[in-house]
A and B are shown apart, each in its own frame.
Chain A
Amino acid sequence: MSPRRSISSAIGNSPVGRGSGRLRAALRPATSSAGRYFGKHQSLSVLVGMAVATAILPLVVLIPPFSGFGGQNDFVDGFASAGVFVLLAVGLNVVVGLAGLLDLGYAAFFAIGAYTYAYGASPFSGLDVPFWPMLLVGAAVAAMAGLLLGAPTLRLRGDYLAIVTLGFGEIVPVVFLNADKYTNGTNGISALYQPALPAIGDFGFINPWPYYITVAAIIAVAMMLLYRLEDSRLGRAWMAVREDELAAASMGINTVTTKLLAFAIGASTSGLAGVFYASKLGLVSPSQFGFTISFTVLAMVVLGGMGNIWGVAIGAFVVYEIQSQGLKQLNNFVASSGIPPIHIGFVNVDLSAVNFLDYQFLLYGLALVGMMLLRPEGLFPSRRRKQELHDVDDAGASNQELVEA
């Protein structure tokens, strides 16, 4: 009997009571997808999907409404930046979507990855480690930070953990800001060295293509690894812990190690994103890593569909493009369309005077609330998650143990 089977069959026969339905759903192998072949060969589907997306996206510039927004290089540059958020989102998805741990300080690991690159490859430190090993170093350092934060705190219950991570996410930029002897304070570290890989062209600030291809490759590798992990014994343990920690623990899952690994793997993906981001931008400063990054990435994960790697990636891409391009273009469009101001009673609505960029967080907020109320599984739900969230058996189960007021 394979370890995988033994867990699920043991759970199936156990008198765990509440939540066992959800647990069973979580542990059921997801093989009933439409593209059964690609369902079984996730790595191949990621490779093909990423290759197709990478090839097609730059062609967007040829389609009429988009062609007016800028040259092809502007688009490609935007896509490369979007790639950073796709990486962040697929990483956070491990923590929030798979393991069910709400991490509100995710930007901290992003910052740690970026500063790691800044130390490894800049005049500030005098080191000049090439980009490619730095990717691994950044991921490793971020993972270490994840372990350091996680080890003492992962015993906490979900919402306490959320607050601790939020606090950590606040502390890290403060440290980078105030330890100015080591981090150059507010100004940050600049003139970071650019990556070099002759095969895909010259990395420079003018030419976005090498960055675009690099980030696509990093995303593809990360997604392949994460798909493999999701379908591994560890991935199943994450989902079991997410659905019912007590039941999972009683089935012999070491919940602390399981959660710690989710934290570390999420953090390392964030570290990868940080290294790439730092190399692309050429500078790091504490103000880039505030809590808005953490919350934006969380919104991306929730919208895309917690637990579904592809869904989260697409969600992140779409949200990033809406935020960086969509709202700006909407401004231009409305301003140039000459929509007359509307007067309804006291209310005067002059759409052409509205800056839609100001409403970014209102949109996130409405999306988060609406999503949770109407479609908690996200726009692109993972099959499993949907099944669990709409499991009738479990509707009445809630935590009843309350603290006295």
Chain B
Amino acid sequence: MDAGILTQQAFNALTIGAMYALIALGYTMVYGIIELINFAHGDVFMVGSFVTLWLLSTFGVQGAINDPPRLTIMLIVMFAFTMTVMGLVGVVIERFAYRPLRNAPRLAPLITAIGVSFILQNIIQVTFSNSPVNVPRVIEPQAGATVQLPQFAVANFQVTASPVTFAYSHIFIIVLAVSLMVALQLFVGRTRLGRAMRSTAIDREAAQLMGVDINTTIALTFFIGSALAGAAGVAWALNYGTTKFDIGFQAGLKSFTAAVLGGIGNTTGAALGGFLIAFIEVFSSQLGYSRWSEAIVFSILILVLVFRPTGLLGQRLAERA
């Protein structure tokens, strides 16, 4: 047994989990407020990674930036720009594809959501490429703090420890994701707009009677959710240095699983679910089942939905027709 490898994998899982959690938040917020599984959400994340790519090529960035002040500014620009663009994309999608169908049979917005997903993928596919494209990694991927864990033996059982590398890019992604999640919690819990969102989610008509502008509130929800997916897209580009037009499908499905596992409609649950799914995925690969990791994740989705549709933290989800 190697404690070093275990720690390294746990750290990788945290990084991947941070991205899943960011995407899952968008699913869970949208589901919470209009009860729609936004199938296009995974693709919003994917477009986010391409917006970053476009931004970097516009600035002529080729690779890692080693000058800390410039790197900081670049990162701020990347996140601010991508999150704003994706937030607006989300608002546009809501306005044209979902709002007209708010009172239609449930199947209708689900089908438009699939349509929007096709449109986003195809646009990226024809404007960029059919195959994976490289995104410059502005944070030097090799840089990081290497730590040697102590080796010890319990009885006759030797625990070895290979050195663990905490890459700065990974640390950055985790810290950023956690800060965004805390900011979201504060926004939803403490501000006037957050209260409008919560009340719209609980009872749309009553909220309207109390003076909440429903359309603005729903649009705001889409903005925030899509901006978070955009942030996940930037994080993906930083972490993998490559992106493809179809990454949104798998990542979206896994994040949705995360949202369901945590309890859909519950933002803390989405974050928890994201990290759990990433751990399951990483450690099933570590145990030699990498080819099965997708099947394992989707089986978990099915099992959770069948046996505990409220997820781990969800409380109120009445069984409805």
State whether the Cβ of B264 lies closer than 8 Å to any Cβ in chain A: yes
CB of A281 within 8 Å of the partner chain: no
The answer to whether B36 has its CB under 8 Å from any CB of chain A is yes
Q: Is A162 an interface residue (CB 8 A)?
A: yes
Residues of B within 8 A of A358 (CB): 122, 125-126, 130
Among B37, B121, B188, contact of A162 (Cβ-Cβ < 8 Å): B37
Q: How far is the CB of A383 from chain B (nearest CB, A)?
A: 17
Taken together as a complex, chains A and B put the C-alpha atoms of A62 and B318 apart, in Å, by 61
B317: interface (CB < 8 Å): yes
Q: Which residues in window 58-92 of A have CB below 8 A to B?
A: none
Q: Which of A96, A178, A246, A405 contacts B321 (CB 8 A)?
A: A246
Would you give the 0/1 interface string for B82-108, flagging 1 where the beta carbon is closer than 8 Å to chain A?
Answer: 000000000000001100111111111
Q: Spot the interface stretch: A110-118, A206-214, A224-232, A392-400.
A: A392-400
Number of A-B contacts defined by CB within 8 Å: 185
Do A376 and B108 have beta carbons less than 8 Å apart? yes
Residues of B within 8 A of A162 (CB): 37, 110
Which of B5-13, B280-288, B300-308 contacts the other chain? B300-308
Closest to A364 in B: B118
Which one of B161-169, B171-179, B290-298 is at the interface?
Answer: B290-298
- Residues from chain A with Cβ under 8 Å of B118 in the complex: 295, 361-362, 364-365, 368
Q: Is A170 an interface residue when CB atoms closer than 8 A count as contact? A: yes
Please name all residues of chain A whose beta carbon is closer than 8 Å to the beta carbon of B266 when the two chains form the complex: 404
Q: Which of A295, A376, A400 contacts B204 (CB 8 A)?
A: A400
Instruction: Tell me if B260 counts as interface (CB < 8 A to partner A).
Output: yes
Q: A163-B301, A174-B295, A404-B316 are in contact. Are A295 and B114 (CB under 8 A)?
A: yes
Note all chain A residues with C-beta closer than 8 A to B100.
373
Contacts of B117 in A (CB 8 A): 365
- Contact across chains for B36 and A298 when beta carbons are under 8 A apart: no
Give the residue of A159, A166, A245 whose beta carbon is less than 8 angstroms from that of B36.
A159
Q: Which residue of B lies closest to A165 (CB)?
A: B302
Residues from chain B with a CB closer than 8 A to the CB of A291 are 249
> Is the beta-carbon distance between A404 and B32 smaller than 8 angstroms?
yes
Known: A171-B298, A174-B292, A361-B121. A405 touches B126 (CB 8 A): no
Q: Does A359 contact B (CB under 8 A)?
A: yes
Chain B residues within an 8 Å CB radius of A373: 97, 100-101, 112
A403 at the B interface (CB under 8 A): yes
Cα separation A296 to B29 with both chains bound (whole Å): 29
A342 is an interface residue with CB less than 8 A from chain B: no
Q: Are B305 and A153 in contact (CB under 8 A)?
A: yes
Q: Is B35 an interface residue (CB 8 A)?
A: yes
Of B67-75, B194-202, B235-243, which stretch is located at the interface? B194-202
Instruction: Tell me whether A159 and B253 are in contact (CB under 8 A).
Output: no
Tell whether B233 is near chain A: CB-to-CB under 8 Å: no
Q: Does B22 reach chain A (CB closer than 8 Å)?
A: no
Cβ-defined partner of A170 (8 Å) among B102, B116, B294, B305: B294
Distance in angstroms from A162 CB to nearest chain B CB is 6
For A367-405 the 0/1 string (1 means CB < 8 A from B) is 111011100100000000000010000011111111111
How extensive is the interface on chain A, given as a class?
35 or more
The reply on A277 being an interface residue by CB < 8 A is no
B112 proximity list for chain A (CB < 8 A): 368-369, 372-373
Question: Given A160-B309, A178-B292, A405-B201, is A366 in contact with B119 using a C-beta cutoff of 8 Å?
Answer: yes
Name the A residues within 8 Å of B318 (CB-CB).
401
Q: How far is the CA of A358 from the CA of B128 in the complex (A)?
A: 12
Partner among B36, B106, B116 whose Cβ is within 8 Å of the Cβ of A369: B116
Given known pairs A100-B107, A397-B103, A403-B201, the reply for A365 and B119 (CB within 8 Å) is yes
Task: Answer whether residue A158 sits at the interface, using C-beta atoms and an 8 A cutoff.
Answer: yes
- Evaluate contact between B298 and A369: CB separation under 8 angstroms: no
Chain B stretch 196-248: residues in CB contact (< 8 A) with chain A: 197-198, 200-205, 221
Among B36, B106, B109, B316, residue most surrounded by chain A Cβ atoms (within 10 Å) = B106
> A240 vs B126: C-alpha distance in the bound complex, in angstroms?
43
Most buried by B among A96, A104, A170, A389: A170
Indicate if the CB atoms of A168 and B32 lie closer than 8 Å: no
A152 pairs with B306, CB closer than 8 A: yes
Q: Write the A193-210 contact mask toward B (1 if CB under 8 angstroms, else 0).
A: 000000000000000000
Assembled-state Cα–Cα distance A295/B256 (Å)? 18
Q: Are A167 and B298 in contact (CB under 8 A)?
A: yes
Q: Which residues of A contact B309 (CB under 8 A)?
A: 156, 160
B114 in complex: contacting residue of A171, A298, A401, A405, CB < 8 Å: A298
Beyond A362-B123, A403-B31, whether A102 also contacts B302 by CB under 8 A is: no
Cβ B35 vs Cβ A403 within 8 A: yes
A300 within 8 A of B: no
Residues of A within 8 A of B (CB): 96, 100, 102, 104, 152-153, 155-160, 162-164, 166-168, 170-171, 174-175, 177-178, 244-246, 249, 291, 295, 298, 302, 358-362, 364-369, 371-373, 376, 389, 395-405
Contacts A153-B302, A298-B114, A365-B117 known; 10 new A-B pairs at CB < 8 A? A155-B319, A167-B257, A174-B294, A365-B120, A366-B119, A369-B112, A373-B101, A395-B103, A403-B265, A403-B314
6 A-B Cβ contacts within 8 A? A100-B105, A104-B114, A159-B106, A362-B122, A405-B29, A405-B188
Which 8 A/B pairs are nearest by Cβ-Cβ distance? A368-B115, A365-B118, A403-B265, A245-B321, A365-B119, A405-B32, A167-B298, A362-B122
